Every structure is written in structure tokens, then in C-alpha cells.
Amino acid sequence: MVMEKILWKHIESVRSKSPLVHNITNYVVMNNTANALLAAGASPIMAHAKSEVPDMVALAHASVINIGTLDEYWSETMLLAAETSHKLGKPWVLDPVGAGATPFRDKILQQLLAFKPIVVKGNASEVMALAQANEGATKGVDSTADSNEAVNAAIGLAIQHETLVCISGETDIIVNGTQTVFIKNGHPLMTKVTGMGCTASALIGAFVGVVEDKTEGITAAMALLGIAGELSAEQADGPGSLQLKLIDKLHNLSEKEFYDHIRISKQ
């Protein structure tokens, strides 16, 4: 129960400190992720103009770079944000949406990795593609692999790039090179709402912005989302109502609900 209490304290920390999270994310999920951050207690800003990105990075507690709707302008902005974060020692999160889908996408991802994200958060196929552990297995932004299949790739990625890796899926897995954390929360209905993985990345940004132990911060973020999704699905009629109820539950999840539902293990 000690770990569960630590994770809950991190959730309370985000709620009380309201970290500013700078997001360069895709058009599909901007509203979803901004609302999720607000509900969890953080403060989102969605800004991708090159002329102001360095100032935004400096101002924010953390930045999140999500390559979902990548283009030539945004790729330059993302690289500028990553470089600035690296220079300033600010934590930043990389969501490699669609890794392995196109050479352009893979080229930008390799350039971004050079600026040392604090965490790479993707589904199993994305993590495996990013680690060059498979070829042609990415289906758009959906995973064609189970999260457990990507553990070895994640460990290699974590060691090679000196980063933490979070694999999202039926079981969320956090790898730091020496320890692996498994979170078995969530609900299958969550896969029917677009951008749920992007929401996870944004929440991770909030937590790594204020939590000193980054592995704990990532774990708390994923546990929060998984439990909120699980409880929301019990009351939802379908994906539409799940999305609404999820925002509410991110906001009002209680300590008792967290302790009663969290399913976490380490190895």
C-alpha cells in the first residue's frame, strides 16, 4: 500500500500545484487533451508558433510533443521545442504517434530523440518501430501488438536514449532500464475514443513537471487515467458518454476510489 499512497500524493500534487503544460499536439485531440489536463488540475497551453515556442518552453513546467498530424512547419517547431527543453533542462514528453508508418515520420522522430525526452510514451507498435524492433507493423495510430511484446524494445530504447518508456495498452508498462512497472487498469471502451493515448501523454507531462521521481510521476499519471476510464466506463452508454464521464472522473476521483481500484505490480 506504500506505493499506492505515494502515487496518490502525486495526484494531489498536480491538483494543488497546477503545472503549466506546453503542448505541441495534433489537431484531432487538442480539445480533449486540454480538457483532461484542466480536469486533472493542470494548466494547458497549446502553442506551436516558432517565434514563441522558446518562451513557452521556458515558461512551462513541461512540454509534450505529439507528432500525430505532422507536417513540415510543425516538425521544425517540434525540433525547436525539444532543443530548447534540452538546453534548459526542462522535462519533455515524446508521443511518437504512427512511428514506423512513413520515412518522414521516422526521420523526425530520430531527430527528436537526440534531444533526450524524459519519457517516450507510445503503444506497443510505436515503441517497437521506434526501437527498430519490427517493420511495417504500425496500423495508422493503432497498435497491432500487445504491450507485453514491446517490453524488450522499450528496455533497449530506454538504455540507448537515456529515457523512460511508457507502453500504453491493455496493460500499461513503464520501463526505466532497471525496473518495469505494470498497471492493469482501464477498460476496452477507452479504445473507442480517439486520442486516449494522446491524453495519457499530456497527463504524463503534467506529472513529470512537478514530481521529482519521474518513474513515479508517469505511473501516477497512467494509473489516474486508467482508473478514471474504468470507473467512467461502468456508467457510460458508449464512447460518447465515456468521454464526458472521463473528464468528470479525472476531476473528482477520490482517494478511496484510487486505492480500491489500482492494480499495479513491479519487476
Binding site per annotation, positions for ATP: 121, 168
DSSP state of 144: S
At residue 24, φ and ψ (nearest 5 deg) are -110, 95
Rg (the chain; Cα; Å): 17
DSSP state of 24: E
Binding-site sequence positions for substrate: 46, 195
Q: Which 3 state secondary structure label does DSSP give 42?
A: coil
Q: Sheet holding 20-24: strands in order across? A: 43-46, 20-24, 62-66, 92-95, 119-123, 164-168, 172-175, 180-183, 264-266
d(CA 264, CA 8): 13
CB-based contacts of 211, cutoff 8 Å, min separation 6: 10, 13, 14, 217, 220
Binding-site sequence positions: 46, 121, 168, 195
